[in-house]
């Protein structure tokens, strides 16, 4: 007999949900292995609890520190530079360090999933699971949950400081509507951003789903600091995992293994274990268990750029909240046949924890519905300690670059409005450079340096202009990129980064889709007893942040598993909030 019924690899957004749901059946033995540190109730580090996420996501205690990516595709003589790429290595995974935005994308995103061969994932089928995850503290009605484990709230305009208020006034003048509930009306407009947060505290998937009561279940074992090196097979049947835990390498057996290691590490684990594109595995001398060409392929991200400015003192963050991003703006580019709401802009009122960060804000734009999907995760070594090679290949589809170029002009027009000029000055095209990251690390040196620079920035205007240009901005000026389309394109190509939303590297799909890695229940093709359940299985990125969709997917697959895995087409998709769930709390 196996040691466990289920081994879940990764205690992130999806893994936390699965561990809670699958262990709710007292006869099922579940082991959760998380490589990072644990965050049990009462011991959650202050940086994670903080409503302001900008220290947690740069804190090496919670990160895969060796992970680097390229953002651009290799072109003839051009070899794109490597950049650090933050991914959570902590209980709760991304949800413990992320920006806490909690939105779903729109109905068309999930109808697209179903049309791409993920049967049973259309909007009508997934909506009950979105509702099951959330407890919306502001809105109710058919689109919202009121009993889920993740509290969702918004900071409404009354509490906004001058900066987002100025963006709102500029958007009003440009004809955009105010939408109180971004998760309720899927139209263009601006809104208070929905966040996974209550009482000015983050609520991660681990905090919500691996609470004290859940941890007391005798049939649930949680190992933190436990990195799975590979999945074990007999023939093509998965039999368990090899995991380093408490200083020892162990082999643990399971009836089923569920990879929830995230869209970078799940495909890497599959490939190291012999499941992936056969020719790539052979290059590395890995014995092929199943030739599944789609593993690690079609990586998608949301490509982003930013327009920054100095925020005048009166318009900066206030004492009503630690949050720094309150307003979101969704619009339809109307370009290249893209669906409505394909573009998103966040008004970022503080760009770092330090004094200069409080003086500088951005309009942060991303392609909400990207087309570029040629990113990939490949093995860089067979050593399980070595991070995989990750190429994001943002903007590989010209439609994404075209929409960012158009979007940059829209942001510049907004920035030129009277409302924005009243609240800000010295606008410049910004990039998330290594220098910005280094200065963003929490340290006394950075605190002192930025205190001094901020005091000078708040001094006489000519000095501010000079310092903003020489020390803060760098790169081409706003006037230069607006006057020269080629320069703007070149700037965007170089400055474009992802927003930590990797997905789609083990896509769900139909049996006849050669790029599909799993079926619609996350079962890995060519194997038995092995699933992937995390952001990897998305058939395409939804037009929104992906934490909530990942948790929705985990809730849905947990229900499928507990129902005994009926064929996905016939899976019960009854509203889990209204009817008795397959799972008892
Ligand atoms: C800095 C940052 C900001 C973000 N902002 C937002 C936002 O505001 N809103 C939003 O919706 N989304 C945001 N995201 C994205 C979102 O948080 C992720 O998409 C989501 O958490 C992915 O969930 P997952 O379960 O697929 O993977 P993860 O949550 O990353 O979980 C994977 C887990 O597996 C563990 N793991 C990996 N390999 C192994 C192994 N071999 N053995 C054991 N454990 C392993 C990892 O340590 C990790 O805890 C952000 C992400 C980051 C990093």
Q: For all residues of the chain together, what is the average pLDDT?
A: 94
Residue in 134, 107, 120, 70 with CA at minimum distance from that of residue 496: 70
In this predicted structure, what is the pLDDT of residue 577?
46
CB atoms within 10 A of CB 264: 23
pLDDT in tens, 388-443: 999 999 999 999 999 999 999 999 999 999 999 999 999 999 988 778 878 888 88
End-to-end CA distance of the chain: 28
pLDDT in tens, 226-274: 999 999 999 999 999 999 999 999 999 999 999 999 999 999 999 999 9
pLDDT in tens, 141-169: 999 999 999 999 999 999 999 999 999 99
Q: How far is the CA of 85 from the centre of ligand 1 (A)?
A: 12
Determine contact, residues 276/566, Cβ cutoff 8 Å.
no
What is the three-class DSSP state of 537? helix
Q: pLDDT above 90 covers what percent of the chain? A: 89
Is 501 annotated in the active site? yes
9-20 b/e (C-beta count within 10 Å ≥ 16 → b): bbbbbbbbbbbb
In this predicted structure, what is the pLDDT of residue 437?
79
Q: pLDDT above 70 covers what percent of the chain? A: 96
In this prediction, residue 582 has a pLDDT band, given cuts at 50, 70 and 90, of: very low
pLDDT in tens, 334-376: 999 999 999 999 999 999 999 999 999 999 999 999 999 999 9
CA–CA separation, 354 vs 55, rounded Å?
10
In the numeric block, which tokens belong to residue 103? 């939105």
Q: Which residues line ligand 1 (CB under 6 A)?
A: 9-15, 33-36, 57, 86-90, 93-95, 97-101, 227-228, 260-263, 265, 269, 500-501, 534-535, 545-548, 550
Q: How far is the CA of 316 from the centre of ligand 1 (A)?
A: 30
CB atoms within 10 A of CB 527: 23
Is the model's pLDDT at 570 over the cut of 60? no
Is the model's pLDDT at 503 over the cut of 90? yes
Determine which one of 144, 280, 324, 501 is catalytic.
501
Determine contact, residues 516/294, Cβ cutoff 8 Å.
yes
Report the atom number in ligand 1 closest to the C-alpha of 227: 42
pLDDT in tens, 118-147: 999 999 999 999 999 999 999 999 999 999
**Which distant-in-sequence residues (6+ apart) come within 8 Å of 155 by Cβ?**
192, 193, 195, 320, 321, 323, 326
Is the model's pLDDT at 572 over the cut of 60? no
Report the atom number in ligand 1 closest to the C-alpha of 14: 25
* Residue closest by Cα to atom 12 of ligand 1: 547
* Residue closest by Cα to atom 31 of ligand 1: 12
Determine contact, residues 544/5, Cβ cutoff 8 Å.
no
Reported pTM = 0.95
Determine contact, residues 392/299, Cβ cutoff 8 Å.
yes
Q: How far is the CA of 13 from the centre of ligand 1 (A)?
A: 6
CA–CA separation, 317 vs 319, rounded Å?
7
In this predicted structure, what is the pLDDT of residue 24?
97
Chain centroid offset of residue 449 CA? 31
Longest dimension (CA), the chain: 75
Is the model's pLDDT at 580 over the cut of 60? no
Determine contact, residues 391/70, Cβ cutoff 8 Å.
yes
* Residue closest by Cα to atom 3 of ligand 1: 98
In this predicted structure, what is the pLDDT of residue 566?
55
């Amino acid at each position: 007999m196996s040691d466990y019924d289920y081994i879940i690899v990764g205690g992130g957004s999806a893994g936390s949900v699965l561990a809670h749901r699958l262990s709710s059946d007292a006869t099922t033995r579940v082991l959760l292995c998380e490589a990072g540190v644990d965050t049990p109730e009462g011991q959650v580090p202050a940086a994670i609890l903080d409503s302001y996420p900008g220290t947690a996501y740069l804190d090496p205690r919670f990160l895969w520190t060796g992970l680097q990516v390229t953002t651009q595709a290799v072109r003839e003589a051009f070899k794109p530079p490597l950049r650090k790429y933050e991914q959570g290595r902590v209980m709760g995974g991304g949800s413990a360090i992320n920006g806490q935005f909690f939105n779903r994308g729109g109905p068309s995103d999930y109808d697209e999933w179903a049309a791409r061969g993920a049967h049973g994932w259309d909007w009508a089928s997934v909506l009950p699971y979105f509702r099951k995850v959330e407890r919306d503290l502001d809105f109710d009605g058919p689109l919202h949950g009121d009993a889920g484990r993740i509290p969702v709230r918004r900071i409404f305009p009354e509490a906004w400081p001058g900066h987002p208020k100025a963006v709102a006034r500029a958007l009003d003048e440009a004809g955009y509507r105010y939408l109180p509930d971004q998760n309720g009306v899927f139209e263009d407009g601006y809104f208070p951003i929905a966040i996974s947060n209550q009482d000015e505290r983050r609520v991660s998937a681990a905090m919500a789903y691996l609470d004290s009561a859940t941890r007391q279940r005798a049939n649930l074992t949680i190992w933190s600091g436990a990195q799975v090196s590979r999945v074990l097979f007999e023939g093509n049947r998965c039999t368990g995992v090899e995991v380093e835990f408490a200083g020892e390498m162990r082999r643990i057996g399971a009836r089923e293994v569920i990879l929830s290691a995230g869209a970078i590490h799940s495909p890497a684990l599959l490939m190291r274990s012999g499941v992936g594109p056969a020719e790539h595995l052979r290059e590395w001398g890995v014995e092929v268990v199943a030739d599944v060409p789609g593993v690690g392929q079609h990586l998608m991200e949301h490509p982003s750029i930013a327009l920054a400015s100095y925020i005048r003192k009166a318009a900066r963050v206030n004492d009503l909240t630690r949050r720094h991003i309150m307003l979101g703006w969704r619009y339809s580019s109307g370009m290249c046949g893209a669906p409505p709401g394909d573009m998103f802009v966040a008004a970022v009122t503080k760009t770092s924890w330090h004094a200069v960060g409080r003086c500088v804000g951005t309009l942060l734009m991303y392609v909400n519905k990207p087309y570029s999907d040629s990113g990939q995760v490949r093995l860089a070594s067979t050593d399980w300690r070595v991070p995989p090679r990750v190429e994001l290949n943002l903007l590989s589809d010209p439609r994404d670059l075209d929409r960012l170029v158009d979007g940059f002009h829209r942001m510049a027009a907004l920035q030129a409005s009277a409302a924005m000029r009243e609240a800000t000055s010295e606008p410049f095209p910004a990039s998330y450079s290594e220098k910005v990251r280094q200065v963003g690390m929490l340290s006394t040196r950075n605190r002192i340096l930025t205190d001094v620079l901020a005091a000078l920035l708040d001094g006489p205007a000519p000095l501010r202009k000079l310092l903003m240009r020489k020390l803060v901005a760098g790169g081409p000026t706003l006037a230069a990129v607006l006057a020269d389309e080629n320069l703007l394109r070149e700037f965007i190509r170089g400055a474009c980064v992802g927003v930590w939303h990797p997905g789609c590297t083990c896509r769900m799909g139909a049996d006849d889709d050669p790029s599909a890695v799993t079926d619609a229940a996350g079962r890995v093709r060519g194997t038995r007893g092995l699933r992937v359940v995390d952001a990897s299985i998305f058939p395409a990125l939804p037009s929104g942040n992906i934490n909530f969709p990942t948790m929705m997917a985990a809730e849905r697959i947990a229900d499928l598993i507990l129902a005994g895995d009926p064929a996905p087409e016939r899976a019960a998709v009854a509203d889990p909030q209204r009817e008795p769930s397959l799972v008892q709390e």
